[in-house]
Amino acid sequence: MEQINRIELLGIVGNVRFLHLGDKLMAKFTVVTNRAYKNKEGAPVIETTWHNVIAFEGKNVQDLDKIEKGKPVRLTGRLQVQRYTGVDGVEKTSVEVFCTKLTFIPDDTEIQYEL
């Protein structure tokens, strides 16, 4: 049985931090996505989700230094779950998207949501 861990996001970049690890550039950034639907009463609702993303510059992730807040992007990757103990002694779980392909969307492209 084949197992698949794949996620695809089309959204807007939030905060961005860059790190240089040797000769590799790494970016940690957030991407916001929205899902539009109608509730039981028929009123439109927009559900917003923030995703934490990690990307290393490479063959399918180019021009990483051009990522900036407010820019639309499409990315594919895999989910990565990390468990750790915080400074308060409480066990925490972090879910991140490890980006394997990144595409910049032209600024004048409007992302559509259907209700």
Beta strands (DSSP E) in 22-90 are: 24-38, 44-56, 72-85
The pLDDT mean for the chain works out to: 91
Q: Is the pLDDT of residue 45 over 60?
A: yes
Let me know: does 36 contact 113? Beta carbons within 8 Å. Answer: yes
Q: How many CA atoms lie within 13 A of 52 on its CB side?
A: 9
The values of phi and psi at residue 64, to 5°, are: -60, -30
How is residue 21 written in tokens?
């690890």
Let me know: does 15 contact 27? Beta carbons within 8 Å. Answer: no
Burial string for 60-90 (b: 16+ CB within 10 Å, else e) reads ebeebeebeeebbbebebeeeeeeeeeeeee
pLDDT tens-digit profile of 48-97?
999 999 999 988 898 898 999 999 999 999 999 999 999 999 999 999 99
Which residue in 39, 50, 61, 48 sits closest to 115, CA to CA?
Answer: 39
Let me know: does 74 contact 59? Beta carbons within 8 Å. Answer: no
Q: So what's the pLDDT on residue 106?
A: 82
